[in-house]
């Protein structure tokens, strides 16, 4: 069978589209640098915390995003939304000496003085 003059032997496909790479934002920090406002509380971005606004509610888990201007913490919840929660309503996830998970009040953690970590 001879190829048709209207159809080429090979079909040329357009080049694949590449996703646009994400440019680093001005707020992104290099690895190893932490936010001093969070460090003063004994936290880093990405730490697991939980909160509840009323005593009758269930605890909701979130991760620390940043410190707000009014002193509250900005948290990212499980659905991706940001919430500004006062510090006295938060508990921080802590791994105990035997590997068990416990929760510690953030106000107690911020008031406690600790020895600085060695590099």
In order, the DSSP letters of 55-118 are TTSPPEEEEEEEE-TTS-EEEEETTS-EEEE-GGGEEEEEE-TTS-EEEEEHHHHHHS--PPPP
Domains of the chain: 36-111 (2.30.30)
pLDDT for 9: 64
Q: Give the residues of the chain that fall short of pLDDT 50.
A: 26, 31-32
What is the reported pTM? 0.62
């Amino acid at each position: 069978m001879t190829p048709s003059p209207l159809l080429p032997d090979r079909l040329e496909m357009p080049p694949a589209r590449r996703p646009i790479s994400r440019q680093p934002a001005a707020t992104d920090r290099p690895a190893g640098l932490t936010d001093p406002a969070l460090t003063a509380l004994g936290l880093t971005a990405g730490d697991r915390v939980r909160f509840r606004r009323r005593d009758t509610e269930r605890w909701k888990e979130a991760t620390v995003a940043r410190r707000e201007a009014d002193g509250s913490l900005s948290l990212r919840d499980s659905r991706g939304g940001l919430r500004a929660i006062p510090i006295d309503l938060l508990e921080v996830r802590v791994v105990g000496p035997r590997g068990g998970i416990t929760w510690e009040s953030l106000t107690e953690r911020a008031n406690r003085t600790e020895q600085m970590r060695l590099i």
